[in-house]
């Protein structure tokens, strides 16, 4: 029954936009509601979505860099440690164009890392240790001849 509720929520979000879901599925806001299917071919939609995904991954890389620059360091008996969130570079981007409006599905991994050292400077220079890896799926709508979030 839970799968039906999730499917209904995803369908509602794709049609009407405006939902965020805090979990491993994120639904980006979409203006693709109620519009008729574009005259763009599936191949053209996929090429445009691939470019959109590349830009999205660049934004995630910038976010990771910012997260790394703003680690909250905690002092303990062994020195300091801090965590930040990063993203894998591996991702997939697929267009589903069978309904009234195309939907782009992007998959990647979010990783929580820890850095440790005797001092903050040593911890900053240390290798990041992955602590948790979460699969993320994001859905994007297509409106006014472009992919939107």
Count CB atoms within 10 A of the CB of residue 45.
Answer: 19
Phi-psi region of 110 (alpha: psi -120 to 50; beta: other; left: phi over 0): beta
Q: Is the pLDDT of residue 49 over 60?
A: yes
Q: What is the largest CA-CA distance in the chain?
A: 63
Amino acid 39: pLDDT: 58
Give yes or no for a contact between 107 and 136, defined as CB atoms under 8 angstroms apart. Answer: yes
pTM, two decimals, is: 0.71
């Amino acid at each position: 029954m839970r799968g039906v509720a999730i499917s209904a929520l995803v369908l509602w979000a794709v049609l009407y936009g405006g939902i965020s879901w805090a979990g491993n599925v994120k639904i980006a806001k979409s203006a693709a509601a109620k519009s008729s299917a574009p005259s763009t071919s599936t191949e053209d939609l996929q090429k445009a979505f691939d470019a959109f995904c590349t830009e999205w991954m660049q934004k995630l890389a910038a976010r990771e860099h910012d997260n790394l620059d703003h680690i909250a360091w905690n002092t303990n008996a062994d020195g300091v440690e801090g965590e930040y969130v990063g993203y894998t570079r591996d991702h997939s981007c697929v267009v589903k164009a069978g309904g009234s409006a195309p939907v782009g599905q992007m998959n990647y991994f979010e990783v929580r890392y820890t850095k440790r050292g005797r001092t903050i400077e040593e911890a900053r220079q240390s290798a990041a240790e992955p602590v948790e890896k979460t699969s993320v799926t994001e859905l994007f709508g297509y409106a006014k001849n472009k992919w939107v979030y």
